[in-house]
Amino acid sequence: MEKILLHTCCGPCLLYPAKKLRSSFDVICFYSNSNIHPQAEYEKRRENAIVTANKLKFLFIEGKYDPKVYFGVIKNRKNRCEACYTLRLEETGKKAKELEIGNFSTTLLVSPYQDIKKIQEIGKKIAKRYDLTFHDSDFREGFKEGREMAFHSGLYLQKFCGCSFSYIEKFESKINLQQERGNGGTGSI
Ligand code: SF4
């Protein structure tokens, strides 16, 4: 069976794409999320992603956690989500190439809160550059199912997208950071 490197943002978002992809691919999870803040949140999501990958019997690889790289790529960008998607998909494409895995995708494609068109566009561009195939399936139909599975498995269900800005937007909405956000996702999950 062909392999696919699946960028994994968290355990709950892994469940539905895993269900769809596992019949056609040998799935390897790649947890590469320097956007997540603070580090304790990064680690909490990583632990959930590991538990989920283990249950599914998927191999799990962790990328480098370096928040400075995330802040570097979003600096002076009108649309910080676009830069954030690019960073994580670029790292996934690069890792797939390094491991000689011809396919990659992302669990971000399951979230109705993300800009799916932008993710598909970025994924395809990166795939072209590395001579890989980006699987751009729209998994959003399974978002609710995935959340329910995650709830019943006792997984941690985060309430914000991941970065410090999304945390503030979600929990301290009186502070208006919309200008910094640009036109990307919603700052939610
Ligand atoms: S809101 Fe989400 S997608 Fe956008 S920059 Fe923050 S973590 Fe990345």
Report helix, strand or coil for 60: strand
In the chain, what percentage of residues exceed pLDDT 90?
Answer: 87
* Ligand 1 and 34: CB distance under 6 A: no
Give the C-alpha separation, 104 to 77, whole Å: 26
CB of 36 within 6 A of ligand 1: the answer is: no
Nearest CA to ligand 1 atom 5: 81
> In this structure, are residues 4 and 104 in contact, taking their beta carbons and an 8 Å threshold?
yes
Nearest CA to 146 out of 137, 135, 159, 155 is that of 155
Q: Can you give the pLDDT at residue 181?
A: 60
Q: Is 103 in the pocket of ligand 1 (CB under 6 A)?
A: no
Q: Mind listing the pLDDT tens digit for each residue in 47-61?
A: 999 999 999 999 999
Domain boundaries, the chain: 3-181
Categorize the per-residue pLDDT at 172 as very low, low, confident or very high, splitting at 50, 70 and 90: confident
Whether residue 87 has its Cβ less than 6 Å from ligand 1: no
Q: Spell out a b/e string for 100-127, using b for 16 or more CB atoms within 10 Å of the CB, else e.
A: ebbbbbbbbbbbebbbbebbbebbeebb
Q: Is the CB of 45 under 6 A from ligand 1?
A: no
pLDDT at 170: 83
Q: Alpha-carbon distance 82 to 78, whole Å?
A: 9
Compare 178 and 75 and report the one with higher pLDDT.
75
Q: How far is ligand 1, taken at its centre, from the CA of residue 2, in Å?
A: 30
Could you say which architecture CATH assigns to the domain 3-181?
Answer: 3-Layer(aba) Sandwich (3.40)
Residue 166 CB less than 6 A away from ligand 1: yes
- Gap from CA of 142 to ligand 1 centroid (Å): 21
pLDDT of 179 higher than 60: no
Indicate the average pLDDT of the chain: 93
Minimum mean pLDDT range among 72-81, 150-159, 163-172: 163-172
